[in-house]
A and B are shown apart, each in its own frame.
Chain A
């Protein structure tokens, strides 16, 4: 997906200003910024709910402005914060909306619906025939994602899809969404105002302000090298700590000179796959100042607080 000099002008006011960036296929690009920064407007120009004033948006090399809007939208998954499930239709009917529009045979729609509900963690036999009003906020949001994925769209647009659920449910939905996205290989354009969500989900993060793209980078680079004071402030003064979420224990230099027997018995056992932030929390809590890194049964070395400190210093 590619934005080329895309602009949107409302009655003389520029909402989106010469936006240009590319999202590689199968990746998640998160648009993040304060309200009024033009991120939702940019998203809605992709499926032409809003028409750009200038520039072009390409999907797979094809300009969306040359396509018939309804046909275009049926090939693009769309999830919004309020979900917008159809209250008069069952969950199964909601999920089958786009396949029905595309004229799939009934059996295929039924099979796909069942598969999708299972994919988003809703037992089909329990949920298929219920109505949206009978579901919790988190369950409705899962249905929203299933509905957007129904016709196997190569591209998905998501506008603060997890903004209205509580933090615990949000965290779980984010993890499941990442798993599904990797599994399906969908290219995603994702809008949020939450920088933590952007860092967690994005392969690329586009920071927007006043309709302009301020910085477009992978999350680690955004945290390590914010281009200006606005981005630095937006990602937060704790951006070094945030960076630790993106790094794993296995990815840093461990101290291999210490024998395992020499380490305090209080020291936590860490796996190479855990994030540096989790490692830090457990090390601080254990009072041992170090963590023992073990891959299955193999001892790899110890992680020290000064190593973590160096990672933070390097980046900021």
Chain B
């Protein structure tokens, strides 16, 4: 029980809210790299997933990308990202933000891609046939019919990606990035377990906060017509 007390005292210490190692700074760093990685992942994966789902072809691409993405250990991805970032952006950027950012993008892609593909494929064929028969073009069908109907699953995919990325961004501390992983890695190295646990707790809380925020957004963004339908089933 002394550990809990130590952790509480750690959080109460005003020194931990000052300077470059301040809690709020670390939280912002963590959110920044996670948010950017998810954003880029969504920009890459969502159009591809929507397109594949709409045409109904090349579904194996979506499935295989997802499987490969799940098979790569995050630690290995970060290790691989060091030389890649170094080569692409110069040796000065081989550590810190860039390798962390690059390693997190492939983590965000699989759930976004698979969910978008499955969601658009799953839209009732009668609905798209009626839309086509009334004179909506293919782009119109995708944007006005398939996208809104697939939205709940698409947002669930982005939420999964975001939670995974926020949790995994912790590893960025291993390649000299900041973020909340800093507390865990440093706490371990210095055998300051209050610091380590404070870091772990913050990461967990941040992941939960992201989950809750997305849940709220989903409820606001999804058409009431679809919620009624799901409620009726």
Chain A residues in contact with chain B, CB under 8 A? Answer: 47, 49, 69-74, 78, 80, 82-90, 97-98, 101, 131-134, 147-148, 157
Binary CB contact string for chain B from 123 to 136 against chain A (1 if under 8 A, 0 otherwise): 01011111111111
In the complex, residue of chain A having the shortest beta-carbon distance to the beta carbon of B148 = A88
Contacts of A157 in B (CB 8 A): 133
Identify the interface centre among A74, A86, A131: most chain B CB within 10 Å of its CB: A86
Given contacts A84-B126, A84-B129, A88-B149, 15 further A-B contacts (CB under 8 A): A49-B129, A70-B137, A73-B132, A74-B135, A82-B124, A82-B126, A84-B124, A84-B130, A86-B225, A87-B127, A87-B225, A89-B225, A101-B140, A131-B225, A148-B134
Which B residues are CB-close (under 8 A) to A133?
Answer: 225, 228-229, 232
Q: Is residue B87 within 8 Å, beta carbon to beta carbon, of the partner chain?
A: no
7 cross-chain CB contacts under 8 A: A73-B135, A80-B133, A84-B128, A88-B148, A101-B134, A131-B225, A133-B232
Q: Do B134 and A73 touch (CB < 8 A)?
A: yes
| CB pair A85 B134 closer than 8 Å | no
| Chain A nearest CB, measured from B128 CB (Å) | 8
B73 within 8 A of A: no
Q: Is B226 an interface residue (CB 8 A)?
A: yes
Which of B130, B136, B148 is most buried by chain A, counting CB atoms within 10 A of its CB? B130
Alpha-carbon distance between A305 and B223 when the two chains are bound, in angstroms: 61
Q: Which residue of B lies closest to A132 (CB)?
A: B225
CB-CB under 8 A for A78 and B133, given A86-B145, A87-B226: yes
Query: B5 an interface residue at 8 Å Cβ cutoff?
Result: no
Which among A71, A89, A131 has the greatest number of chain B C-beta atoms within 10 A?
A131
B224 at the interface (CB under 8 A from A): yes
User: Roughly how many angstroms separate A184 CA and B99 CA in the complex, as a whole number?
Assistant: 67
Selected contact of B136 from candidates A88, A101, A147, CB within 8 Å: A101
In contact, A83 and B126 (Cβ under 8 angstroms): yes
Q: Cβ of B145: which chain A residues have Cβ within 8 Å of it?
A: 86
How long is the Cα–Cα vector from A71 to B140 in the complex, in angstroms?
A: 13
* Contact between B130 and A85, CB atoms less than 8 A apart: yes
Per the CB 8 Å criterion, the residue count for chain B at the interface is: 24
Q: Is the CB of A101 within 8 A of B135?
A: yes
> Is B229 a contact partner of A87 (Cβ separation < 8 A)?
yes
Bound-state Cα–Cα, A72 to B132, Å: 11
3 interchain residue pairs of minimum CB distance = A84-B130, A131-B225, A73-B135
Q: C-beta contact mask, B105-136 vs A, less than 8 Å → 1, else 0?
A: 00000000000000000001011111111111
- A80 and B129 form a contact (CB under 8 A): yes
Task: Pick from B124, B126, B134: contact of A98, CB below 8 A.
Answer: B134
A82 to B126, CA, bound (A): 6
Residue of A nearest to B123 (CB): A87
Contacts of B135 in A (CB 8 A): 69-74, 98, 101
Q: How far is the CA of A74 from the CA of B129 in the complex (A)?
A: 14
Min CB distance, B155 to chain A, in Å? 14
B130 touches A74 (CB 8 A): no
Question: Distance (Å) between the CB of A69 and the closest chain B CB?
Answer: 8
Q: Is A88 in contact with B130, judged by CB distance below 8 angstroms? A: no
Contact call A83/B223, Cβ cutoff below 8 A: no
Do residues A83 and B130 form an inter-chain contact, with CB atoms below 8 A? yes
Chain A residue nearest to B132 in the complex (CB): A49
**B127, chain A: closest CB distance, angstroms:** 5
User: Given the complex of chains A and B, what is the CA–CA distance between A268 and B133 in angstroms?
Assistant: 49
- Cα(A114)–Cα(B98), bound, Å: 58
Say yes or no: A88 contacts B129, CB within 8 Å. no
A86 with B127: in contact, given A132-B225, A133-B228, A133-B232 (CB under 8 Å)?
yes
Given contacts A82-B126, A84-B127, A86-B127, contact A131 B132 (CB under 8 A): no
CA distance A78 to B126 in the complex (A): 12
Residues in A whose Cβ lies below 8 Å from that of B136: 70, 97, 101
Partner of B149, one of A78, A87, A90, A131: A87
B223 x A89 contact (CB < 8 A):
yes
Residues of A within 8 A of B128 (CB): 84
Q: Which residue of A74, A80, A88, A134 is within 8 Å of B126 (Cβ)?
A: A80
Enumerate chain B residues within 8 angstroms of A71, measured Cβ to Cβ. Answer: 135
Looking at the assembled complex, report how far the CB atom of A158 sits from the nearest CB atom of chain B, in whole angstroms. 11
**How far does the alpha carbon of A71 sit from the alpha carbon of B226 in the complex, in Å?**
29
A131 touching B229 in the complex, CB below 8 Å, given contacts A80-B129, A88-B148: yes
A85 to B129, CA, bound (A): 10
Least distance between B171 CB and chain A CB atoms (Å): 39
Q: How far is the CB of A142 from chain B (nearest CB, A)?
A: 15
Contact A97-B134, Cβ < 8 Å, known A85-B127, A87-B149: yes
Determine how close the nearest CB of chain A comes to the CB of B200; give it in whole angstroms.
41
Contacts of B131 in A (CB 8 A): 84, 86, 97
Q: A89 vs B223: C-alpha distance in the bound complex, in angstroms?
A: 8
Please indicate the chain A residues that have their CB under 8 angstroms from the CB of B132 in the complex.
49, 73
Contact with A along B202-233 (1 / 0, CB 8 A): 00000000000000000000011110110010
